[in-house]
Amino acid sequence: MYDFNYEKATSTGEAASKLSDAEDGKFMAGGMTLLPTLKQRLANPSDVIDLGGIADLVGITVDGSSVTIGAMTPHAVVNASAEVQKAIPALAKLAGLIGDPMVRNRGTIGGSISNNDPAADYPSAVVGLGATVHTTRRQIAGDEFFTGMFETALEEDEIVTKIVFPIPEKAAYMKFPNPASRYAVVGTFVSQGPQGTRVAVTGAGPCVFRQSDMEAALGKSFASESVENIKQDDGDLNTDIHASAEYRAHLVTVMAKRAVADANG
């Protein structure tokens, strides 16, 4: 690890100003991705600005139509929340499928979506539920937030503050996990509700994407039979030591079918 200045902010304004003042600063949430990156000397920031002292960024509120989760809320808290379990059980379940207990207790929803790992789970819920990402500057539709592998619409000193998820009528998430890390080899989030019928796929490609053929079929009939014969094109999918593009394409259909069955109870 290279040397860096460690600073802890108590407000988003202070954090943004510390980042602007730094030569090459980086925000830190739970450090679950950032710290291994630093330990492996893959990054060399001049300053690490810890968001862990900003109380406003933690917590969950639920009203009649939405679930709002603060950016610094750990996965374990989302998983254990009785309110989330009641309003969007698929979201609580997704949080409980992430990594291991340490990752779930330190890792945060804001860190996960800001990092935008192609195999991360939360991006599929943000897109699959038609959520809105709130930042220190603006509100960004989930569909516009994830722009590419490890890339988002965030500006350098912009901080995710909360994510607002509309409450669907039906939703479910199914993933085929990597047996070591639990990251998604493929994960498919399906929902039906105020944001329409949505199918969001993570793990398969460089970035989360919507499966429009499945959305159209489920829009007509929200049944697992509607997707079982829809094949995902493997042209843009990932091939790595864990799975070929062809196998990932196959998993997209299998996970979608299982997710729809789960959403239908």
Residues that bind ligand FAD (CB under 6 A): 26-34, 51, 71, 98-99, 103, 106-108, 110-112, 114-115, 120-122, 154, 159-160, 181-183
Q: If DSSP codes are grouped into helix, strand and coil, which group holds residue 145? A: helix
- Compare residues 51 and 91 and give the one whose CB is closer to ligand FAD: 51
- Compare residues 197 and 238 and give the one whose CB is closer to ligand FAD: 238
How would DSSP label each residue in 72-94? T-BHHHHHH-HHHHHH-HHHHHH
- Phi then psi dihedrals of residue 39, to 5 deg: -60, -35
Q: Which letter, b or e, does each residue of 119-135 get, where b requires 16 or more Cβ atoms within 10 Å of its Cβ?
A: bbbbbbbbbbbbbbbbb
Q: Which of 131, 96, 123, 260 is nearest to 186 (CA)?
A: 123
Q: Nearest approach, Cβ of 237 to ligand FAD (angstroms)?
A: 18
- Are 117 and 107 in contact by the 8 Å Cβ rule? The answer is no
Closest residue to ligand FAD, judged by C-beta, is 111
Residue 98 to residue 32: CA distance in whole angstroms: 12
For the record, the structure tokens of 215 come out as 């959305």
Q: Nearest approach, Cβ of 64 to ligand FAD (angstroms)?
A: 27
Q: Nearest approach, Cβ of 245 to ligand FAD (angstroms)?
A: 21
Q: Nearest approach, Cβ of 220 to ligand FAD (angstroms)?
A: 31
- Compare residues 26 and 258 and give the one whose CB is closer to ligand FAD: 26
Q: Nearest approach, Cβ of 169 to ligand FAD (angstroms)?
A: 25
- Compare residues 141 and 223 and give the one whose CB is closer to ligand FAD: 141
- Compare residues 84 and 218 and give the one whose CB is closer to ligand FAD: 84
